[in-house]
Amino acid sequence: MDLIRLKNVEKRYKNGVTAIYDLNLSIEKGSFVFVVGGSGSGKSTLIKMLYREEKPTQGQVIVGGLDVAKLKNKKVYKLRRKLGIVFQDYRLLPKLTVYENVAFALECLGEKKNDIRMKVLKALEDVGLKNKIHSYPDQLSGGEQQRVAIARAIVNDPKLLLCDEPTGNLDPVKSMEIMQVLEDINKNRGTTIIMATHDKEIVNKMKKQVITLKDGHLVTNKKKGRYEDEAI
């Protein structure tokens, strides 16, 4: 069953740059998908369209049955509640502890204290940081900070996790640790994961579905793909 469908999608910016054109794509529920391509290939634009940071100039972007392109601004929160987002730069709140950073979104939704505690501890356990709940971001390594960001993204048990270069600031060892965390989330929670990356080593080691973009156009879509330099 498809969780995401893109039909004849084009994204043209006001400065005249076409970031995505004629993109048709289906992603099945429960998939783990890498989106790869060189700088300016459209990777980040695609991710941004999925969480409605950007709207397509034309075409349909359907996420979990919602036509994201037609979603009114005041309704975007309905989409965002169904997904988690992980960025390259962690985006943690420095004056909050690990626990508080992960709990913050649930508190904003008005969830009960007991429910929040249960969900936060489960999310932190899933990323291997249950022993760091009282630490602050500046007391953590880069890899640990990214784990907190992942815990925050999965705490509400989203069906879809979008990751935009999540290992971009990490060394190869920490990067592979983050990939193991994401693989466990995909397997154990059934969360669909879409990850934009330029890390060739990770893509080739993981042997997941690989979507390759070049100049905003889909050039390959392989179930157990590799990072193909010649396609990029």
Please say if the pLDDT value at position 2 is more than 70.
Answer: yes
CA distance 50 to 64: 10
pLDDT for 230 equals 63
Q: Which residue has the tokens 């740059």?
A: 17
In the predicted model, is pLDDT for residue 228 greater than 90? no
pLDDT more than 70, % of the chain: 99
pLDDT of 82 over the 90 cut: no
Over 90: is that where the pLDDT of 108 sits?
A: no
CA 164/CA 162 separation, integer angstroms: 7
Question: What pLDDT, on the 0 to 100 scale, is given for residue 165?
Answer: 94
Residue 192 · residue 169 · CB < 8 Å: no
d(CA 181, CA 189): 11
* Residue 231 predicted with pLDDT over 70: no
Q: Which of 127, 136, 177, 118 is nearest to 154 (CA)?
A: 127
pLDDT one-digit tens code per residue, 151-186: 999 999 999 999 999 999 999 999 999 999 999 999
The burial of 173, by beta-carbon neighbours within 10 Å (0-12 exposed, 13-18 middle, 19 or more buried), is given as exposed
Which residues, other chains included, contact 176 with Cβ-Cβ below 8 Å and sequence gap of 6+? 202, 205
Residues in the chain: 232
Mean pLDDT of 34-59: 94
Q: Average pLDDT of 31-52?
A: 94
Give 101's pLDDT tier (boundaries 50, 70, 90).
Answer: very high
* pLDDT tens per residue, range 203-218: 999 999 999 999 999 9
Structure tokens at 144: 């640990």
In the predicted structure, residue 199 carries a pLDDT above the cut 70:
yes
Distance separating alpha carbons of residues 9 and 163, to the nearest angstrom? 21
Instruction: Report d(CA 110, CA 5) in Å as an integer.
Output: 32
Looking at the predicted structure, is the pLDDT value of residue 232 above 70?
Answer: no
Separation between Cα atoms, residue 180 and residue 73, nearest integer Å: 35
pLDDT at position 87 over 80: yes
Mean pLDDT for all residues in the chain: 94
182-188-194 Cα angle (round to 5): 40
In single-letter form, the type of residue at position 26 comes to: S
User: pLDDT tens, 53-62?
Assistant: 999 999 999 9
